[in-house]
Structure 1
Amino acid sequence: MKQLALWTVVALIATLGVDILIQSLGADLIGPPDEATQAIDARFQGRFDNLPGNFPVFLFWLAIGWIIGGFTEEVLFRGVLFSRFEHLFTGVPFAAFLAIACQAFLFGQGHHYYQGMAGWVANGAVGVMSGVLYLKFGRNLWPLMLSHGLTNTIGLTLLYLGLTG
């Protein structure tokens, strides 16, 4: 149990650190959003408008954040897709690292529709870090599921308290 807690903290710090670093460099790396990204931002901008100070809505999004993000995304990307890509690359040098890159690319792309190119890059980088940690943790998904759920909880709590927008 202590090892799970330690691994969860390591995963939380590593993935948050990568996300913050890439997000802060995003404008320099990617440049200003194009028209398509601005249209995406406008379409999804209001989805959390009723969250600040609204506890029932906060609990709803918290449940979604844990079920979809913490559990489903980790099982799908780090569990299923990682193993499928690794199997696909059997016999190829560095098959595990190719699997990390492929699942990370798809993980980042899955966030593009509402976070734009910067979200794709940042979440892709988080996907790489999560893939590496998945291997480091002996293919144990629990630390990644817990850290992903905690990351979502932190973001939603900041929105609920009106500390970010």
Structure 2
Amino acid sequence: MKLNITTAYSKPNNIKGLFIDIIIYISVMFLIREVYISKLGFLANGLFWSLSTFIVATWRMRVRNVTWKDLGLRKPKNILKTLGFSILILVLVVISMIAFEIIKDNLPISIAPDTSFEDATSKFGNLKGNWLLFVSIMPMVLLESMLEELLDRGFLLNWIERLFSSTTFATIIAVILQAVIFGFRHSYDFSVRSISAGIIALIMGIAYVKFGRNLWPLIIAHCILNTISMFDRVL
């Protein structure tokens, strides 16, 4: 299902403009992470990074006469169907993670271990049994989850797709590249964490394309996944 958006966005002669947009976006996405305000803490800094990137994406969208609604931030036509898609995404993610856990030790390549759980205290504080801290940080976690779907599936996937619009495999390229970037951004190495994040992004990207390019099933699924992850750190 192709995106029904403005002619200005679809014109072949805008390929150069789309390429410039992506360069600006990715540069800001990674460079802004070099700015870390220690007094704010990890979550607040994460939101600062995502919101900065969100502003850049919105700016480039306005240049192309594209809105977030065009990219999928629109009211679902059927709430039950949307929830069903979210549940299906969650099931696919769980199955994929289990499969990866089974095969990762038998792969012919070396993969760095995932240290994200051990790093959780330095990022979020001591969550073990601390429900007050959990409740206080969850709004930021959920907002970050939503922003990641807007940026990675909404903006980045569509911009890469349109950049390769002259090829048959434009959508496949876009889904794969956004997953690679998403995984690398979560861990700047070839590790269990980066691969896991990449697999999740791959499933989200496929679901976005297959389920009518509405971002809400992805946002709901992403929020549930991160909520479960945070619960695991409290219990």
TM over 0.5: yes
Q: How far off is 1:21 after superposition? A: 2.4
Corresponding residue number in structure 1 for 2:127 = 51
Partner in structure 1 of residue 222 of structure 2:
148
Match status 1:117 vs 2:117? no
The answer as to whether partners of 1:108 and 1:124 remain within 8 angstroms in 2 is yes
Select which of 158, 162, 165 maps to 1:87: 162
What are structure 1's unaligned runs of at least 5 residues? none
Give secondary structure in 1 for the equivalent of 2:165.
Answer: coil
Mapped partners of 2:117, 2:150: distance in 1: 30
Give runs of aligned pairs for residues 55-134 of structure 1, distance below 5 A: 55-69=131-145, 71-113=146-188, 117-134=191-208
1:142 CA displacement: 0.3
Aligned residues: 155
Q: CA deviation at 1:41?
A: 6.1
Instruction: Measure how far apart 1:116 and its partner are.
Output: 6.0
Q: 1:28 deviation in Å? A: 3.2
What is the deviation of 1:24?
A: 4.1
Aligned CA distance change for structure 1 residues 43 and 14 (closer, same or farther; 3 Å): closer
Q: TM-score, normalised by structure 2?
A: 0.60
> Following the alignment from structure 2 to structure 1, what is the Cα–Cα distance between the partners of residues 117 and 196?
20
1:6 is the counterpart of 2:80: no
Higher helix share: 1
SS of 2:127's equivalent in the other structure is: coil
Does the C-alpha gap of structure 1 residues 122 and 140 become closer, same or farther in structure 2, counting only changes over 3 Å? same
Tell me the secondary structure at the aligned position of residue 91 of structure 1: coil
- Give 1:8 shift: 0.9
Relative distance call for 1:139 and 1:41 in structure 2 (3 A) is closer
The residue type paired with residue 4 of structure 1 is: T
Whole-angstrom distance in 1 between the partners of 2:135 and 2:120: 20
Q: Which one-letter code corresponds to 1:53 in the other structure? A: G
* SS of match in other structure, 2:119: helix
- Aligned equivalents of 1:151, 1:89: Cα separation in 2: 31
Seq. identity, %? 29
2:211 is equivalent to residue 137 of structure 1: yes
Distance 1:55 1:41, change over 3 A: closer
- How many angstroms does 1:10 deviate by? 0.6
State the 4+ residue runs in structure 1 displaced beyond 4 angstroms.
40-43
User: Structure 2: how far apart are the matches of 1:142 and 1:158?
Assistant: 24
Tell me if the contact between 1:100 and 1:128 (Cα under 8 Å) persists in the aligned partners: yes
Counterpart code for 1:31: S
Change (3 A) 1:101 1:10: same
Q: Which has the higher contact order (CA 8 A, sep 6+)?
A: 1
Larger radius of gyration: 2
* Separation (CA, whole Å) in 1 of partners of 2:139 and 2:104: 29
Q: Is the 8 A contact 1:19 1:122 kept in 2?
A: yes
1:22 maps onto 2:97 in alignment: no
Q: Measured at CA, do residues 32 and 137 of structure 1 come closer, stay the same or move farther in structure 2, by a change above 3 Å?
A: closer
Do 1:134 and 1:140's aligned partners in 2 also have CA atoms closer than 8 Å? yes
Distance, in Å, in 1 between the alignment partners of 2:84 and 2:117 is 39
Alpha carbon RMSD of aligned pairs, Å? 2.4
